[in-house]
Amino acid sequence: MHITVCLSQQKPEPWQEGLQAALPDATVSVWQPGAAAADYAVVWAPPQAFFDEQPGLKAAFNTGAGVDALLSLRVAPSTRLVRLDDAGMSVQMAEFACHAVIRHFRELDAYEADVREGRWSYRKPRARADFPVGVMGLGVLGERVARALTVFDFPVHGWSRSPKTIDGVRCHAGEAQLDTFLSSCRVLVNLLPLTPQTQDILNRRTLGLLRPGGYLVNLARGAHLVDEDLLALLDSGHLAGAALDVFRTEPLPAGHGFWNHPKITLTPHTSARTLREESIAQIARKIAALQRGEPVAGEVDRQRGY
Ligand code: NDP
Ligand code: OXD
């Protein structure tokens, strides 16, 4: 069995070594143009040339949860696409989302600014009931985030394509319930995959449905958000702020209106990092399962787009 590793933005050698150790009977190599045909691939944003040269792959394992970049490439229909299925990401996403929501709810930035100016001042405690939080996308990451938020007694709503039941979370599903979901929330956490249906879903109309003083936490993909619409809603005061981890163009270009905006908190696409050891262990288990002819979790449905 031959496994090839083709990663942009990550060093391939540690993945090659880790996979080799986990699957000693396999031959694991780093892909180069013109390399021999492989059975399996471990990829992140590979060039089109990679799939053009490797039409016989049985499966390609994405080293992230989002497969939008992968699905923009031409891949042989016989190659199964498999994404990371948690692999240590959901706990990171839960801590990051809870931190963003609590930082806003408890006005921690305002306290920090006061303290920096030598002011010992108090703000009136805000009622949790006035801060219902909505989680868009209730998959591997969104469900864990929604559950984590309930621990802090926020009213929590969730929205997904198919109906769900999650303890403590008021679940809404499908296009027909999107507006009811949004107008129930003041804080919105986005954990949708990027698909033709979800591109630009965070826009003037949808964000305008949030309760006044709304707050956006975008942890999924930059192309979910219409940047100018967010800026307009922040300027009008309908939205109180936003925490953004993902952007249409990454790194965020110099001079973009999000840099230094007083109501926007930025992080550089870091809310849930790929953890190499966990990911290698998961991919190795899945390759062994596929070799035995067993199904694996996290297989991408190309029609659905995630
Ligand atoms: P999943 O595929 O497990 O979950 C996706 C969820 O979105 C599902 O609940 C699905 O509904 C729902 N959904 C999909 N399309 C629609 C739609 N049109 N309308 C309503 N709901 C929809 O993905 P993950 O939870 O693993 O990851 C989510 C995203 O998070 C990734 O695609 C990636 O973009 C992003 N991400 C960001 C990271 C970061 O560091 N910022 C790190 C990792 C991921 P249903 O359950 O009915 O299928
Ligand atoms: C992912 C990401 O999709 O890092 O895993 O964004």
**Burial category of 160 from C-beta neighbours within 10 Å (exposed 0-12, middle 13-18, buried 19 and up):** buried
Its pTM stands at 0.98
Compute, in angstroms, the gap from residue 240 CA to the centroid of ligand 1.
25
In this predicted structure, the answer to whether residue 34 has a pLDDT above a threshold of 90 is: yes
Q: Whose CA is nearest to atom 44 of ligand 1?
A: 65
Q: Whose CA is nearest to atom 4 of ligand 2?
A: 64
pLDDT of residue 52: 98
Among 68, 90, 189, 191, the mutation site with the greatest number of ligand 1 atoms within 8 A of its Cβ is 191
pLDDT of residue 158: 99
Pairwise CA distance, residues 4 & 261, whole Å: 43
3-state DSSP helix/strand/coil percent for the chain, to nearest 5? 35, 20, 45
Give residue ranges with CB within 6 A of ligand 1. Answer: 64-66, 89, 137-142, 159-162, 191-195, 197-198, 219-221, 245-246, 269, 271-272, 306
52-62 confidence digits (pLDDT tens)? 999 999 999 99
Residue 195 tokens, joined: 């698909």
Compute, in angstroms, the gap from residue 68 CA to the centroid of ligand 1.
11
Atom from ligand 1 closest to the CA of residue 220: 35
Mean pLDDT to the nearest integer, 119-125: 97
With CA atoms as reference, report the closest residue to 79 among 43, 25, 33: 43
Q: Whose CA is nearest to atom 16 of ligand 1?
A: 161
Contacts from 147-156 at CB under 8 Å and sequence distance 24+? 147/94, 148/94, 148/95, 148/97, 148/98, 149/97, 149/98, 149/101, 149/189, 151/98, 152/98, 152/101, 152/102, 152/128, 153/128, 154/101, 154/105, 154/128, 154/187, 155/128, 155/129, 155/131, 156/132
pLDDT of residue 9: 86
Amino acid letter, 44: W
pLDDT band at 282 (very low <50, low <70, confident <90, very high): very high
Quickly count: other Cβ atoms within 10 Å of residue 294's Cβ: 9
In this predicted structure, the answer to whether residue 189 has a pLDDT above a threshold of 90 is: yes
Mean pLDDT to the nearest integer, 131-140: 98
Q: Is 241 in the pocket of ligand 2 (CB under 6 A)?
A: no
Q: Whose CA is nearest to atom 5 of ligand 2?
A: 64
Mean pLDDT to the nearest integer, 12-37: 98
Give 284's DSSP letter. Answer: H
pLDDT of residue 43: 98
